[in-house]
Amino acid sequence: MRKIGLLGLTLVSLGTWFSLRSSPQSISSVAPSPPKTIHYLERILPQGIAHILLIPANSRFVVTGALSAKANTVEEFAQKRKAIAILNAGFFDPANQKSTSYVVVAGQLVADPKDNERLVNNPQLKPYLNLIFNRREFRRYRCGQTVRYSIALHNESLPADCRLVDAIGGGPRLLPELTLVQEGFVDNALVRDALGSNQLNARTAVGITRDGSIILVMVAQKPSQPNNSGISLLQLADLMKILGASEAMNLDGGSSSSLYYLGKTFYGKVDLQGNLIKRPVKSVLLVQ
């Protein structure tokens, strides 16, 4: 596997990650053991800055989706939704502010990419629409009295005895394998790479560990290196694996990359002068 030198962050299991020094801004749960807190970590990568949140399995915290009629910053989402943490999520078209990802909230489909005329009527994208409409999504299920999460293709069946509560589309899948071609992001024959997968950029991802914990990651560019910083998708997949994820999915990145946690907002993209770009987004993952 490729290694990306995380300055000492050579984690081989989630247990070792818990042993690292976490942010003093942790939120305690009533459960005494194991610890049921949200952990925030910042790690300096060779060419980026990783902002990491771990939401433990079987805690009182849930990760849900949200969609805004008008694009909002993650700070604005936080103010309206009273969330502990917010991560930008699905893809959208800034020109018409319509989602290009499926979004399900509280069991209802609230955004359908097939309703986005700029997407479905784009002749350059027509060959890829079947793949675009079946990209990966982050799902939350209710299975009896249990909450479960998964990363699945949009057309994939639900687990037995479970109902879909929330889902937000993204892609491609990062783990257990990178699926750029299968989800229509890369066409090797036409030398098409919609996400610039091998280039450094601000990126966002969500992962699930084997015990059901959720990992939210936003990798920011370095203001001192606006032209050569961030992380590639291959490196992002490695990072998610190092952090303990068994499943992981890329989310909207670049100028959309943003993470809010306990009153503080981190933006990922910088302009040529090194200034942060604070771009409103259409959909987010909420931690409540």
- Predicted TM-score (pTM) of the model is 0.89
DSSP string, the chain: ------TT---SSHHHHHTSPPPS--B--S--SS---BEEEEEE-SS-EEEEEEE-TTSS--EEEEEEEEEE-HHHHHHHHT-SEEEE-S-EETTTTEESS-EEETTEEEE-GGG-HHHHT-TTTGGGHHHHTT-EEEEEEEETTEEEEEEEETTPPPPTT-EEEEEEE---EEESS--TTTTTSEETTTTEETT-TTS-B-EEEEEEETTS-EEEEEEEPPTT-TTS-SB-HHHHHHHHHHTTEEEEEEE--GGG-EEEETTEEEE--B-TTSPBP---EEEEEEE-
According to the model, what pLDDT value does residue 35 have? 54
Does residue 217 register a pLDDT over 90?
Answer: yes
Closest by CA position to 55, among listed 238, 188, 217: 217
CA-CA distance, 288 to 286, in Å (whole number)? 6
Give residue-wise pLDDT tens across range 149-201: 999 999 999 999 999 999 999 999 999 999 999 999 999 999 999 999 999 99
Sign of CA dihedral 230, 233, 235, 236: positive
224 contact partners, CB below 8 Å, separation of at least 6: 274
According to the model, what pLDDT value does residue 36 have? 82
CA-CA distance, 192 to 198, in Å (whole number)? 12
> Model confidence at 251, in pLDDT bands (50, 70, 90)?
very high
Mean pLDDT of 51-74: 96
- Cα atoms in the 13 Å half-sphere on the side-chain side of 156: 16
269 contact partners, CB below 8 Å, separation of at least 6: 201, 202, 220, 221, 254, 255, 256, 257, 276, 277, 279
